Every structure is written in structure tokens, then in C-alpha cells.
Structure 1
Amino acid sequence: MFSQDFFNDELLEKIVDAFYGYGNYQGNYWFIGMEEAGGDFNEINNRIKKWSEREQKEIEDIAEYHEAIGYGASFKPGAKLDVPVWRTLIRIILSAKGKDNIDLEDIRKYQIEELGRKDKETCLLELLPLPSPSLKHWIYGEYSKLTFLSNRDTYENYCLEKRINHISQRIKEHQPKAVVFYGVGYEPSWRRITEKIKDVEFSRTSEGFLICRNSQTVFVITKHPVSIGVTSEYFHNIGRSIATKIGEKPLFA
């Protein structure tokens, strides 16, 4: 019997080892961030329980899962566009597909119908599996008895290398058209993922993001969507650059 004041450590360990994000590994457009935002103990505990009840999948359908945890309104008509990361990723996708003059209704429609769905064109992965409100905020040491969760450093030491290897392997298996890593603070990890993939050599654009293409995939390392000073045009240009690279003959065949 587990106290309501602690996570179920068995489930917590499983989600750390097995959960990677949302969407479809067969999708053309992959986005890889550091970790999901999260709230307090009760909110995170509910997420973990629902993940377990829903067969402990490696990647979930984002709308179905958020419906299960009580946030299904984000994927229904009239949905609020209150998740800045999602808005930005959608802007990149629509730009990569050739759309200009993207407005909020374009973004809302894509969020409701396409983003992170199990049978659609996107895959949204996280380098680290546990949600947290910020880098400075770490509740797991307080509500778990797992020693590797005593602080963020021990947690990252426990799971980072395994997840880097796993994500790299999934990219090699599925060969998406584009993989966008967002958050320059974790650039060393993004580079460690791509170092395991053949012929990935980044160059820096005039806008400051990094981009390259091998024979299968365009790779981008970009600022985080909520970084201070970034504009919609910055992410629009990333999408257009992806489209250009997809259309180019690869340097390495």
C-alpha cells in the first residue's frame, strides 16, 4: 500500500525507463525537447497513474492522454492556444509544408486535429521523462524513495545516456524527414544524439540556429520556444529552411 503522500516508486521507475513522448514514430516531423512542464505532486501523480492505466506506452496519443488526465479541452473545438511550445512547433511544421501568413486559426486547427496524434505526421519526444515546472524545481526527492531521484543531477546521470542512445536508435530506424531539437542549453545532448547518426555536420545560419541534412533527415538545433527575444519569424524561417533542405540533393548519399 502506497501513501498518498508519495509516488508509487514502481510506476515512477517504469515511466522513467519507458516513456518518451507523443505522436507517431512514422511521422515526418520530429521535435525533441528537454522535458515536459509539470505542476505539483497531485498533478504529476495523476499523469503517472493514467500512463500506467493506458498500457504504459513508449509514446502516447497526445489528445487521448491529455483527455485522460483532465486536459482534453486543448484538443477540442475552440481550444485555447495556451501552450507556447505547441504553438511554436506547429508554426515550424506549417512553414516547412509551405504555408505563409500563418494565423491563430491555422495553429488551432493543427493542434486539435494533428499535433502529437498516434496516426498523424508528428512525433514529440522528451530527452528527460519526468515533468517539472523548472530546472530549479525538483519535487521527486521529496515524494519518492528512489535514490536516483534524490536530486536532478543523480536523475540525469541515471537516465540521460540511455535515453540519448534510445532516441538516436529510433531516428535511425524511422528516418523522419526532419528532427528539430529545441533548447540550446542542452545542445551537448543534441549533439550526442546526432553523433550516433551517420553524416550529421551542423552549420550555423544567419538567424543563429544550426541545421544540416544527411541522406535521410534534416536536423535542426534551435532556441527554446519561450526563450526571451525570439520571434514568430525566427521559427517561420526554421520551417522554410527545413523545406529547402528537404528539397536539396543530400551531400552524402
Structure 2
Amino acid sequence: MEEPRLSKEDIERVLKFKGYGNKSGRYWFLGMEEGGGSMDQLRKRVCSFDPVEELESAIIKLGFDIDIYVPTWRVMSKLVLAMDGVAEWQEKDRAKRYQAKNLGRFGGDTFLTDLMPLPCPRLNEWPYDAIYPTKAEYIAEVRPNRIEWLRSEMSKFQPPFVICYGKGNWRYYKEIFYGVDFKPEFDEKILVGKRGNSLILLVYFLSPDLVKTELIGQIANMFGAKNQSR
């Protein structure tokens, strides 16, 4: 039996998804797009997702195990713990607890968002040809408005730390913060800029092999709790 098509209103709803957690939090994480994704998952999002979700609630709504291991989330958790000066930030169990109890929560310190609103399994995979014939057409239509929205939200909330990850998208992150002069640090592994109250870090993709423990420690030592007012 053929699955029902998404209506225009359904498509607009999923394209307006904002992210997970607390927009007033200290740490904003900005990536290219969520991993995973399928038309079946998109239908679940249409039926059950609000514009901003709690990460734990979203995992449950999509039918995944609440203890799902996502390397990106684990690196985020370690980075926040290190920035906050938590002594045991390198410990696996400590990061796991932070991910389970704090990451992407309404009352927490983090907001997770993306340059593009639809999740994709891989960069070159496109499961939504029923909505946009190609990923290139989707990006061309959606990304400019998304950049404008992100620019407006950053200006409104002025999060103290904005971590933009994925080197392949640094140029688009720079569009959000046009006019900001970014300087390289740590052998050009990151770029650092400042706009208003926000410190902006452009980093590699948040995987354990690219953003290693040493780099997290360096970032925390330079920009973390001991060097920033709480």
C-alpha cells in the first residue's frame, strides 16, 4: 500500500523545525544537518514534533533507544563539561550522563540546531525526492532562508558560545556572522570570532577522531569557565 503523501502544510512544518533544547542556553551547537532520516521518520516528525523539541523526547517519538550512542552528542557533552570546568569531563560515563540528562533539554544550557532542517543518512544520499527532486534543489531553496533565520536568532538570543561544526560548511557559517573577523587557533584546527556577547568557534565535524580530547582541553583552557564570567 502506498504511503500517503505529505501535504504542503506538512512540508512547511518540517522545514520550520528549529532544533533541540534551550535557545536561552549558554551553548549553541550548529551543524550541517541531522544524521539518519527517511520518509517514515519525516511522517513521525509531522505528527509529533514541535518547532523546538527536547532531545530525549524526540528520541522516544522517533522510536529509538533512549540510550542510543551518537558520537557527535558525546563530543558535545565532553566539550560543555570541559568548558564548564567539570574535573571529570574526560570520563566516558560522565559524558554519557550529561548526554542523557542535560543535552538538548528545555531547562538546560544547550541548544542544538542545523543549517538544514531535514535529517539525511549521508551527505550524498537523498531520501526525500517526493518533496524535492534532488538535494541540490532543496539546498538552493531552503538554505538562504535558513541562514537568515539563524542570523536573526543569534542576534536575538546572543548565546555566549556558538560552536559551528563541520569544516565543509565554514563558509556558510561565516555568512550567518557576516562581517566577523575569524582568527585561526591551535594550528588552524578552529577559527574564532566574536560578535556582541557571542564567542563563535568554527570547528571540524564533532567526531572523536577529528575533535580529540587534546583539542577539547585546549578550547576549554582558552575559552572556558576560568576565563569567562558565569
**TM-score normalized by the length of structure 2:** 0.89
Aligned to 2:181: 201
SS at match of 2:46: helix
Shift of the alpha carbon at 1:209?
0.5
Residue 78 (structure 2) aligns with: 91
2:95 counterpart residue number: 107
- Which residue is 1:157 aligned to? 140
Taking structure 1 as reference, are residues 164 and 227 closer, same or farther at Cα in structure 2, changes over 3 Å only? farther
Identity in percent = 26
Cα distance change on mapping 1:90 and 1:190 into 2, 3 Å: same
> Structure 2 residue aligned with 1:66, among 47, 59, 64?
59
The SS at the match of 2:177 is helix
Distance 1:104 1:177, change over 3 A: same
Quick check: 1:221 aligned with 2:202? yes
- Aligned partner of residue 219 in structure 1, secondary structure: strand
Task: From the superposition, tell whether residues 39 and 130 of structure 1 become closer, same or farther in structure 2 (CA, over 3 Å).
Answer: closer
Offset of residue 216 of structure 1: 0.5
In the TM superposition, 1:18-33 aligns within 5 A as: 18-33=16-31
Question: Could you say which structure has the higher helix fraction?
Answer: 1
What number of residue pairs does the alignment pair up? Answer: 227
Cα distance in 2, alignment partners of residues 183 and 40 from structure 1:
22
Decide whether the 8 Å contact of 1:31 with 1:179 is kept in 2: yes
CA displacement at 1:50 relative to structure 2: 2.2
Match status 1:182 vs 2:199: no
Alignment RMSD: 2.3
Q: Distance in 2 between matches of 1:221 and 1:88?
A: 15
Question: Is 1:121 aligned with 2:109?
Answer: yes
Contact 1:21 1:60 in 2 (8 A): yes
User: Is the 8 Å Cα contact of residues 187 and 221 (structure 1) preserved in structure 2?
Assistant: yes
- C-alpha contact (below 8 Å) 2:204/2:210 kept by paired residues: no
Contact between 1:177 and 1:246, CA under 8 Å: does it hold in 2? no
SS in structure 1 of the partner of residue 162 of structure 2: strand
TM-superposed deviation, 1:229: 4.7
Distance 1:159 1:247 in 2: 36
Q: 1:236 aligns to what?
A: 217
1:116/1:229 Cα in 2 relative to 1: closer, same or farther (>3 Å)?
A: closer
2:124 aligns with 136
| SS of residue in 2 equivalent to 1:200 | coil
Distance 1:124 1:230, change over 3 A: closer
Indicate whether 1:10 and 2:3 are aligned. no
Q: Is the 8 A contact 2:22 2:108 kept in 1?
A: yes
Deviations 1:150-174 (A, max 9, x none): 1111101111111111111111111
CA distance in 1: counterparts of 2:223 and 2:135, whole angstroms? 34
Give the Cα–Cα distance (whole angstroms) in 2 for the partners of residues 171 and 92 of structure 1. 20
Q: Aligned partners of 1:91 and 1:117: how far apart in 2? A: 16
CA distance in 1, matches of 2:117, 2:196: 30
User: 1:215-242 CA deviation, whole Å, 9 max, x = no partner?
Assistant: 4011000000238554222233233333
Secondary structure of the residue that 2:140 maps to in structure 1? helix
Question: Which consecutive residues of structure 2, in runs of 5 or more, have no partner in the other structure?
Answer: none
Q: Return 5+ residue gaps in structure 1 as ranges.
A: 52-56, 249-253
Among 168, 178, 185, the alignment partner of 2:151 is: 168
Assess if the C-alpha contact under 8 Å between 1:202 and 1:212 holds in 2: yes
Q: In 2, distance between residues paired with 1:69 and 1:239?
A: 33
Match of 1:251?
Answer: none
Give the SS at the match of 1:140. coil
